[in-house]
């Protein structure tokens, strides 16, 4: 799976360095992170708690700028990244005064699409996202899983080629989480998106990804890259397969060496 063809690489990070100044002291968070994701690839990033995974995504999304290193998006390092990368943060961040439908279209609305057309597009996807019948409800009436799917719909409707997911299932209970993972597995095949997922769940990373990056404890560097060559379509049953368990053990061992308790 070593895709390096320059044209098909949608996202490439080279020597990404980022530090914050705390009490006048420079604290490095990212210390030379290299990573790439080719067209249609699903890539996961795992690392110990607090290692700077969210900072990494914030840089890629354009919310933050790295101090050094290059971010190449769709073959260009100059493109303005805000508004050009899909980003789903940890929290669903649904606006409490907007209905589920109007929350889903906010991205399109901000990008200048007429509301009526945006609503039509969103309505056609409500079924796929398990939100049919809840279009007019306020987010406060939804369960955690539904809120997360609504946030996911909001991200995907904006229709970016590269989508970043920051522990999207982290706050859900175990059952809902595995259901969401299966749902995402089924959905992703049809999407043709390039996805970078941040997670602390090794099983989730192996199940969903083509490639997994393990980061060191802060400051974060890429410690290990593992290609997941399990067949697709994947299914939740695979988590007990020998190959799966082996991959999972390799990743866990690597992660455990970092040994910090978040």
Partner 1 sequence: MGLMVEAKQARPDGVTGVRPSPTLWKLDLSAALWWGLPALIVATLFGLWEAWVRLANVAEWLLPPPSAIFEELGSSRGLLWTHTLVTLQEVLIGFSLALGAGIILAVGIAFSRVVQRSLYPFVIASQTIPIIAIAPLLLIWVGYGTTPKVIVVALISFFPIVVNMVDGLKSVDADMVNMMRTFGASRWQVFTKLQVPSSLPYLFTGVKIGVAVSVIGAVIGEWVGASEGLGYLMTRSIPQFQTERVFAALFILSAMGISLFLLAAVIERLALPWHHTNKVRRVMGES
Neighbouring CB atoms inside 10 A of 171's CB total 14
Q: How far is the CB of 55 from partner 1 (least distance, A)?
A: 13
Q: How far is the CB of 91 from partner 1 (least distance, A)?
A: 6
- Verify binding: residue 109, partner 1, rule CB under 8 A: yes
Q: How far is CA 261 from CA 48, 128, 154, 253, in A?
A: 8, 38, 33, 15
Site for partner 1 in 70-99 (CB under 8 A): 82-87, 89-93, 95-98
Q: How far is the CB of 83 from partner 1 (least distance, A)?
A: 2
Question: Do residues 150 and 142 touch, judged by C-beta distance below 8 A?
Answer: yes
Of the listed pieces 28-36, 61-69, 70-78, 212-220, which binds partner 1 according to CB under 8 A? Answer: 61-69
Number of residues that bind partner 1 (CB under 8 A): 32
What SS3 state is found at 71?
A: strand
The sheet with strand 86-88 has its strands ordered as 86-88, 162-166, 194-199, 42-46, 211-215, 222-227
The C-alpha angle 122, 98, 140, rounded to 5 degrees, equals 105
Q: In whole angstroms, what separates CA 197 from the centre of its chain? A: 3
Question: Do residues 134 and 146 touch, judged by C-beta distance below 8 A?
Answer: yes
Of the listed pieces 103-111, 181-189, 219-227, 249-257, which binds partner 1 according to CB under 8 A? Answer: 103-111
The sheet with strand 68-73 has its strands ordered as 25-38, 9-22, 68-73
Site for partner 1 in 149-208 (CB under 8 A): 158, 171
- Verify binding: residue 219, partner 1, rule CB under 8 A: no
Of the listed pieces 14-22, 59-67, 180-188, 228-236, which binds partner 1 according to CB under 8 A? Answer: 59-67
Q: How far is the CB of 102 from partner 1 (least distance, A)?
A: 10
Residue numbers at the binding site for partner 1 (CB under 8 A): 58, 61-63, 82-87, 89-93, 95-98, 106-107, 109-111, 138-141, 144, 147, 158, 171
């Amino acid at each position: 799976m070593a895709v390096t063809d320059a044209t098909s690489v949608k996202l490439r990070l080279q020597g990404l360095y980022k530090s914050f100044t705390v009490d006048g002291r420079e604290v490095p968070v990212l210390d030379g992170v290299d990573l790439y994701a080719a067209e249609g690839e699903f890539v996961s990033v795992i690392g110990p708690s607090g290692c700077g995974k969210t900072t990494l995504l914030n840089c890629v999304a354009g919310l933050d700028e790295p101090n050094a290193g290059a971010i190449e998006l769709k073959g260009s390092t100059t493109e303005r990244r805000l508004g050009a990368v899909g980003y789903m943060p940890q929290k669903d961040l649904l606006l409490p005064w907007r209905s589920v439908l109007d929350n889903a279209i906010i991205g399109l609305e901000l990008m200048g699409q007429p509301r009526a057309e945006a609503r039509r597009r969103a309505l056609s996807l409500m079924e796929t996202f398990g939100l049919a019948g809840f279009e007019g409800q306020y987010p406060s009436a939804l369960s955690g899983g539904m809120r997360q799917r609504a946030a996911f719909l909001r991200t995907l409707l904006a229709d970016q080629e590269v989508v970043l997911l920051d522990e999207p299932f982290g706050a859900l209970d175990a059952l809902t989480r595995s259901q969401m993972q299966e749902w995402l597995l089924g959905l992703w095949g049809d999407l043709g998106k390039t996805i970078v997922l941040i997670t602390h769940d090794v099983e989730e990373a192996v199940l969903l990804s083509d490639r997994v990056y393990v980061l060191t404890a802060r400051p974060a560097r890429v410690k290990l890259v593992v290609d997941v060559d399990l067949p697709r379509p994947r299914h939740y049953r695979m988590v007990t397969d020998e190959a799966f368990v082996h991959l999972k053990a390799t990743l866990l061992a690597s992660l455990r060496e970092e040994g910090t308790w978040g």
